[in-house]
Amino acid sequence: MLNEDVEKVLITEAEIRYKVTEIGQALSADYADKDPVLVSVLRGGVIFLADLIRTMSIQVTIDFMAISSYGPATESSGVVKVLKDLEEDIIGRHVIVVEDIIDTGLTLGYLLRNLGSRNPASLNVCVLLDKSARRILDNLPIKYKGFDVPDAFVVGYGLDYRQKYRNLPYVGILKKSIYEEAEKSSGGID
Ligand code: PRP
């Protein structure tokens, strides 16, 4: 069972629901009549996006990007490859990047440069979890934020370990034994 692999629940389902609703209401107030484009980054961000838009009372457009980093060797450069681009033309549109978690900040840094170069009317960031202890890129303009999380192996509500645990309805810390065992048998964490 999924739950058995979790050491500790960090943020409960009810806490997430409450916070997501709060953010959705703030967005509805700030973007009334602006038909914003909410951009989610595959794959983890879709759970937050799906819940968020259903708390919003205004018209929205959703779109998706898929990007992959070139791996640990290039981590600090934040170099990424676009695997799937937006379908919407965002020139002159109000864009909100919706992310599940900001860790080093490199993904978001790349996204802001990439989306910003397309001349949107505005560009803001909405993130559920902020793991600031691991930040490499500072001063990111995060306008809407859910929770701070410690520098631990968090899974659930979109966050995975080897593509698993995304469907947990809460955010929890994965038991060490799970990734240590996997590491032993494969010789690396990823
Ligand atoms: C996660 C998350 C962000 C990124 C944040 O995605 O959804 O996009 O990592 O990390 P950073 O701040 O260090 O750049 P991940 O690459 O794990 O892909 P996933 O959404 O498919 O899980």
Quick: pLDDT tens for 139-187. 899 999 999 999 999 999 999 999 999 999 999 999 999 988 777 777 6
Ligand 1, atom nearest to 105 Cα: 12
- 138 catalytic, yes or no? no
The pLDDT score that the predictor gives to residue 179 is 86
Determine whether the shortest distance from the Cβ of 124 to ligand 1 is under 6 A: no
Cα–Cα distances in angstroms (integers) from residue 53 to residues 20, 27, 75, 105, 154, in the given order: 9, 10, 31, 24, 24
Residue 69 pLDDT grade (very low, low, confident, very high; cuts 50, 70, 90): confident
Determine whether the shortest distance from the Cβ of 130 to ligand 1 is under 6 A: no
d(CA 61, CA 65): 14
Full-prediction pTM beyond 0.75? yes
Q: Which of 107, 151, 160 to mutate to test the pocket of ligand 1 (most atoms within 8 A of CB)?
A: 107
Residue nearest to atom 6 of ligand 1 (CA): 44
d(CA 128, CA 149): 10
Q: Which CATH number fits domain 13-150: 3.40.1160.10, 3.90.650.10, 3.40.50.1970, 3.40.50.2020?
A: 3.40.50.2020
Ligand 1, atom nearest to 67 Cα: 16
- Domain ranges for the chain, please list them: 13-150
Q: When comparing pLDDT for 180 and 60, which is higher? A: 60
Cα 112 to middle of ligand 1, angstroms: 14
Asked if residues 133 and 150 have their Cβ atoms less than 8 Å apart, the reply is yes
The pLDDT score that the predictor gives to residue 189 is 54
Cα 33 to middle of ligand 1, angstroms: 31
d(CA 79, CA 70): 6
Q: What would the pLDDT profile of 14-47 be if each residue is shown by its tens digit?
A: 999 999 999 999 999 999 999 999 999 999 999 9
Determine whether the shortest distance from the Cβ of 109 to ligand 1 is under 6 A: no
